[in-house]
Amino acid sequence: MHPTTLGSARLTRLSFSRSMIRRAASNNWKIERTSIDLDECGRGQIIYRVEAEDHIFHFVAFTTTIDESLHTDRVIADGWEISAALVEGELSENLLNFLATEVPKQETSRLDSRVLSITRGNRSVRFYEYLVNRLASGFQPEAEKVGDAGYIMRSTAFYGNGKFGMRSFLGFPPDHPLAAPYRAQFLAAWLFRETSYDSVEYCAQIRSPEKAVAFDEQWCRFFGLGNATGLGLIPWAMKHPKKLNAWVSVRELALAGVRALPNSVEHRELLEEWIEQGHQHFASFQGEDRWPWMGPDSLSEVILGIRDVFSSMDSEEFPFDALYLWAEEQGPEITELVVSLLLELDETSDDEVDRLLRVDNSDAPDLLMTVGDLNDKIAEEYFWLDDLDLESSQASHYWWVISDNAEEPRRAERSVINPEHRDVAIDFALRLNQLKNDLKKADCDIKVTQFLQDLPHHGIAVNRTVKDSGPYSEPRENVCDLDHLPLNLQRFQLAMYGMDNFKAQSTDWLRVTLFQGAPRIAELCPDTSDRWVWPQQPQTDQRSSFL
């Protein structure tokens, strides 16, 4: 896929936050807060228990306060106000003590396979105290004071899949309720968001037992979980071509299905409802464009245009295909907005999507492939390399490195720091180009394994090309190029996760929210609607504000 297309992707019904809630609701997961022990500043411990399809999980959050000057969106912080873990099994005293010792350490923790995911974050400096005081005084928040925030707490990382000794993703049997990509992390994220609500409501109750109120219905769903995302997503995307292919493929398969739908009142009305929900959402959020993306004001205008165009297509035999074809001519952001709307009509079963997303990266090497075969494969599948100007000096401007502080991925200028042995080998476009050049000089009849005996430095590029990772496996860009924009790949991944409100802070990092509009745990039941996304910003209750 083209980088700017990836960089315009939006949350869809296939996003992991949505599919996690659907699975939890349809399988009647029972989730309850079993313990809350906080002081009036919100310091202490909260525990949730999850009963899901014959499995027991616990989410344990340790909370404290740290000086505001120590809050950071980067992974490098020494401490966080919230650190938490999702574990499988009953929570013994021993396990709880183990978690209390290890989880706050995060990147320096040593965990084991009982632990499925760990996370951490901080409160919103602006809003946490305000919200506690407001509820403690018996009032709901004032929309104009907190409406633009969208979250009470902000996370900076969700670790899982074998990191620090945690259980590996492929260690879940296929029928396990968390056997879909990132499902453990998203259950943790949802409960992190619940922690933020519970923390505020509980502190308000402690401070003012007589007057305190809980969040009302509209505020109960409005706050999501904030997230700040940096460069770590780029190495992940580049190193997992099969997963990237699976993520794009499920979208493309679903989109093809929707485009093939014939005209029907039922589907037309459903799309119109989603268009209206999107319009209400963007119009209520407000906000100008923020480079490189449209803001809510523009999106609210754009979605009205989409509505008008779609209403003019009501006599088309295939109106959804017609809408998509129109959108393709309007640029990537409008295309992807239309795609996210159209995908709401998709009815692919979640089990099927989960199955398609569960990808094993291990592959048996092909010992029979010849250099000639590989040449053909590269010509057929990697033609796009020719568009990247890989021989120019700017093509290798950056190299990727991991900092010694919390292993933060960064990029460095080659002319300023020599990579020596420290480069993270995600320079695939450059490597593939060099491989292509050297293959031209090699005997076409020899086996690729023989070629590699002479030129072992091509191993990474060869492995990349000989694997059948699928048609959408390559981001088709050079991440070492001077003009590489990390935001594109970051946004695609974040959209697949189910994040929204993309606010780029620079070329290299952005802030987002997730689970805005999602049900609280007490609301979860088989009837829970999947239409919780795109909430409207609540309005201030004038009666309580001026009491």
* Interface with another protein (CB under 8 A): 72-74, 76, 94, 97-98, 101-102, 110, 112-113, 161-173, 228, 230, 364-365, 367-368, 401-405, 407-408, 410-413, 416-417, 421-423, 425, 447, 449-450, 452-453, 456-461, 463, 505-509
Least distance from another protein to the Cβ atom of residue 79, Å: 17
Handedness of CA 168, 172, 176, 179 (dihedral sign): positive
Q: Which is nearer to another protein, 165 or 372 (CB)?
A: 165
Around 404, how many Cα atoms within 13 Å sit in the side-chain half-sphere? 1
Residue number, 423 or 523, with CB nearest to another protein = 423
Question: Cβ closer to another protein: 162 or 257?
Answer: 162
Residue placing its CB nearer to another protein in the complex, 174 or 305 = 174
Cβ atoms of residues 537 and 284 within 8 Å? yes
The smaller minimum CB distance to another protein, of residues 394 and 450, is found at 450
**Beta strand segments in 29-114, E:** 30-38, 44-52, 55-63, 82-88
* Four-residue CA torsion sign, 252, 256, 259, 263: negative
Q: How far is the CB of 495 from another protein (least distance, A)?
A: 19
Classify burial at 133, counting beta carbons within 10 Å of its beta carbon; exposed 0-12, middle 13-18, buried 19 or more: middle
- Report, in Å, the least distance between residue 505 CB and another protein: 6
Q: How far is the CB of 531 from another protein (least distance, A)?
A: 34
For strands 224-229 and 151-160, give the pairing: parallel
Question: What is the rounded distance in angstroms from the CA atom of residue 512 to the CA atom of residue 162?
Answer: 25
Please choose, from the candidates 192, 191, 198, the residue with its C-alpha nearest in 3D space to the C-alpha of residue 214: 198
Closest contact distance (angstroms) between CB of 313 and another protein is 43
The residue among 307 and 355 lying less far from another protein, judged by its C-beta, is 355
C-beta of 364: minimal distance to another protein in Å? 6
Helix extents (H) in 137-240: 143-146, 183-207, 217-222, 233-239
Q: What's the closest the beta carbon of residue 197 comes to another protein, in angstroms?
A: 27
Closest CA to 371 of 379, 382, 360, 363: 379
Q: Between 253 and 425, name the residue whose CB sits nearer to another protein.
A: 425
What SS3 class is residue 155? strand
| Comparison of 411 and 491: residue with beta carbon closer to another protein | 411
Smallest separation (angstroms) from another protein to the CB of 390: 17
The total of other beta-carbon atoms located within 10 Å of residue 59's CB is: 26
